[in-house]
Amino acid sequence: MRRRFRKKRNVFIIFLFYIVLLIIVGVSYSYLYTSLNIEGEISGVDTNPDYTIAPGSKTDLDISDFSKTRWYESNLERTQYQFNVVNKGNNTYDSFVLTITFQYPLTNVDIWNYEYSLSNNILVITNNNYTLGPNDSEVINFIVGSNYSNNRLLSIKLEVNEQPQEIDLDKFLVVFNKTSGWGNYIYQYNIIITNKIGVRTNGWEIRVTLPSNTTYLTGWNALYEMQGNVLIIKNTSYNGRLNNNESASIGLQLQTDIINFIPTDIKPIVW
């Protein structure tokens, strides 16, 4: 009888010991978790896609194999992101644009094989190098720096550059301002382009038909090409994306026998 009592008591003591141990472990884990939240995330690879696909995204495109690796370098939080842009549709796209919104501002960006622009907490990545056919995917890999701990990637908007379309001049303003003239009627122009179509452009082209005896000499802040008597002006990598009511300034020199010549035969094309 006494032996059975001792056995039950030993079992009770062991049971009580495990209960106390579980309480201690739980408190320690809670303290550790709280401490980590205060100090920031643990460095390492995280494959949890906690972002959202922004409204207005192209439904043919999606994100797969998302991962991020975070570390600290010279008191700066550094995060490397890698994911695939996947074409789930039946169309082929020559380019796509990703508008990535972060919780806090970024200080710098390192990216491979793609053009990008950074404004505060918004990173825009443009692919003009790879064609994305049906069921194709392209790898996006970049590193961002931030002065803010745990700077989250909030959303990704996936868009494509649609087919170019000719548009009215009252929707895409092209104003030639003659700034100087000299010699045999050589004129220099500051051209102001303003987007009034109501949405952002991903690229633009301006076709200017020149009269006889008028010659293109040089230009800047855009790409220039003569085809017959038509001067084709195309955006560069840094001024093709114009928000609604946003403007860009480009320059041009022409030689002509027309006094105070201002081009008027203008056709803008946007996409």
Average pLDDT score over residue span 10-27: 54
| Nearest by Cα to 140 from 109, 117, 114, 122 | 114
pLDDT band with cut points at 50, 70 and 90 for residue 41: very low
For residue 131, CA distances in Å to 57, 128, 203 come to: 18, 8, 17
Which tens digit of pLDDT belongs to each residue from 135-162?
999 999 999 999 999 999 999 999 987 6
pLDDT digits (tens, 9 = 90+) for 199-245: 888 789 999 999 999 999 999 999 999 999 999 999 987 898 898 99
Q: Is the pTM of this model over 0.95?
A: no
pLDDT bucket at 40, cuts 50 / 70 / 90: very low
Q: Domains (ranges, CATH) in the chain?
A: 44-160 (2.60.40.290), 165-270 (2.60.40.290)
Per-residue pLDDT of 45-74, as tens digits, reads 677 778 999 999 999 999 999 999 999 998
Averaged pLDDT score across all residues of the chain = 86
Query: To which residue do tokens 């990008």 refer?
Result: 116
Does residue 43 register a pLDDT over 80?
no
Asked whether the predicted pLDDT for residue 31 surpasses 50, the reply is no
